[in-house]
Amino acid sequence: VLCLCLIGLSQTANLTYDELKRELESYIKNKEKEINQRYRPLYHVAPPVGWMNDPNGFAYHNGLFHLFYQFYPYDSKWGPMHWGHVTSTDLVHWKQKPTALLPEEEQCFSGSGITYDNNLVLMYTGHVLTEEEPFYKQSQYLAFSDDGVNFEKFRLNPIITSPPNNSPDFRDPKVWKHENDFYAVIGSKENGNGTVLLYKSSNLTTWEYLSVLAQSTGELGYMWECPDFFELDGKFILLMSPQGVRENGDRYKNVYQTGYMVGTFDYDNNIFETDGEFQELDYGHDFYAATTTEAKGIRYLTAWFSMWEVPHPEDVDGWIGTTTLVRELRLVNNRLIMKPVEEIVDLRESLALQGNLSTNQVHDFGKAVEILIESNLNQNIDLLLNGLNGGGQVQLKYDATNRTVSVIRDGEVRRVEWAPIGSQIWRIFLDTSSLELFCGEGEVVFSSRVYPLGGWRLTNNSPQTLKITAYTLMRSVPGNSSIRNKSFSGTIISVITLL
């Protein structure tokens, strides 16, 4: 067996890049058939097989949205990074594309995408293993595509070899264009502090280092991954995913964080002046490595809908990871608010429920549902969402005294104050293994993975009757069409309390 494996390995080693790509596509096609569908999302992007982490290269190019992701096809765990690829016209319906980047001597870590000279250009981190401590080196690479499907790596890679601070941690370039120049922010670490470096280029291939755009002074972690920098509603936003921020009461309870700072920036002196603290972007259990793109004047965001170093129950099914729903961003009172992309309403297939759910009443739904809840915020809300056939469950609560919203999964509480700035409705998106709760105008959002078996059951444990409108949602991502999103007739079942 060992011999056969070695022969197999040496044959793979002799393949050209294009041959490797073809082999990979046929591997994916075959392997896909073996994937257990029970937790596969119906309207969230997931890898066809294997592992996914960060969304990458999110870009609007020639009328089409492109979303890539960190991808290891050969196992449901992290491995040498590829870039998976999906496209969409509306950020809601997604099509699977061939794997865009395969590792060679460099693993293809996170990065971004931009249109240049009619090409879709990907700027990514090449992670190269070395013989000496720390046993890796990170540099920036480019790949080009004139058809938006096939990507060719730039022959003069790497284009930025190392940062001025010589840190081996130098990754996740986010590129954008301002007037006639390109700019990029790149995550790094300097003396144990998370750092974002700013670069400039006129042609994407030669880069000039400009400045440290921002840096932790100790309390904001040792490494800042996946930086993004953009203008929104008159301010500049630095979005990043810090590692090493210590838990503080209800804040920073996940393994790693994703958040932002708001400030001002001018392109003449390259100084970002923050006028506020770092703020978490999403308060759920699973949200990391958020990234944005802009199209038609709207700033869109998506994130890895998972977390490092936590259990991923789908791993035994042959895949791991999804991305969150794409959200539209606005800046209100110096805080980012996130709403699901408007086109999400196109997924509404049928009305699943319209009416009142009184205390102790239960309603059963399919696997993919949107639930809108109107309530009286002078009273508590207490909802249980669990599986028709058991499995994972989650509680959603509103405490009218403290004005806090909590999402509680397996005893793990995520909680934050909520002061509505407009609408007081809760909008809940449930998929086969996820929950997203958008409060009001999106000033408070929770994203948490939950693994119910069967469809979703909603129980109203609140002291108040809730007004509910719910829709069964249709599938909008590639997947096994034999799996149906069974919807229920809309009857409300009373809970029988067993004494």
When the beta carbons of 256 and 426 are compared against ligand FRU, the nearer one is 256
When the beta carbons of 103 and 442 are compared against ligand FRU, the nearer one is 103
SS3 17: helix
SS3 315: helix
When the beta carbons of 141 and 429 are compared against ligand FRU, the nearer one is 141
Q: Can residue 53 be called a binding residue for ligand FRU (CB under 6 A)?
A: yes
Q: Can residue 66 be called a binding residue for ligand FRU (CB under 6 A)?
A: no
CA angle at 89 for the pair 88 and 93, rounded to the nearest 5°: 50
When the beta carbons of 125 and 201 are compared against ligand FRU, the nearer one is 125
Q: For 248, which DSSP code?
A: B
List the structure tokens of 53: 């982490």
Q: Can residue 70 be called a binding residue for ligand FRU (CB under 6 A)?
A: yes
Contact 305, 448 (CB under 8 A): no
Q: What number of chain residues touch ligand FRU (CB under 6 A)?
A: 13
Q: How far is the CB of 289 from ligand FRU (least distance, A)?
A: 4
Per-residue interface string for the shown chain with ligand FRU, residues 136-175, x marking contact by CB under 6 A: -----------------------------------xx---
Q: How far is the CB of 24 from ligand FRU (least distance, A)?
A: 18
> Which 298-337 residues touch ligand FRU, going by CB under 6 A?
none
Q: How far is the CB of 84 from ligand FRU (least distance, A)?
A: 12
Cα 17 to Cα 104, 114, 152: the distances in Å are 8, 23, 10
| Cα–Cα distance for residue pair 37/482, rounded to 1 Å | 9
> Which 226-245 residues touch ligand FRU, going by CB under 6 A?
226
| Cα–Cα distance for residue pair 353/322, rounded to 1 Å | 27
State which of residues 35, 103, 221, 225 lies at the interface with ligand FRU (CB under 6 A). 225
SS3 314: helix
Q: Can residue 76 be called a binding residue for ligand FRU (CB under 6 A)?
A: no
List the structure tokens of 212: 């440290």
Amino acid at 205: T
Give yes or no: 54 in active site: yes
State which of residues 35, 42, 54, 174 lies at the interface with ligand FRU (CB under 6 A). 54
Contact 461, 383 (CB under 8 A): yes
List the structure tokens of 188: 């790094």
Choose, from 54, 172, 286, 431, the residue flagged as catalytic. Answer: 54
DSSP states of 192-244: TEEEEEEEEESSSSS-EEEEEEEE--STT-SEEEEEEEEEETTEEEEEEEEE-
Per-residue interface string for the shown chain with ligand FRU, residues 100-139, x marking contact by CB under 6 A: ---------xx--------------x--------------
When the beta carbons of 171 and 475 are compared against ligand FRU, the nearer one is 171
Q: How far is the CB of 243 from ligand FRU (least distance, A)?
A: 8
For ligand FRU, the nearest residue by Cβ is 109
SS3 42: coil
Contacts 24+ apart (CB under 8 A), 117-122: 118/62, 118/146, 119/144, 119/145, 119/146, 120/59, 120/61, 120/62, 120/66, 120/144, 120/145, 120/148, 120/151, 121/145, 121/175, 121/204, 122/56, 122/57, 122/68, 122/83, 122/151
When the beta carbons of 170 and 230 are compared against ligand FRU, the nearer one is 170
Q: How far is the CB of 371 from ligand FRU (least distance, A)?
A: 30
Q: How far is the CB of 125 from ligand FRU (least distance, A)?
A: 5
Q: Which residues are designated catalytic?
A: 54
Binding region for ligand FRU (CB under 6 A)? 53-54, 70, 81, 109-110, 125, 171-172, 225-226, 288-289
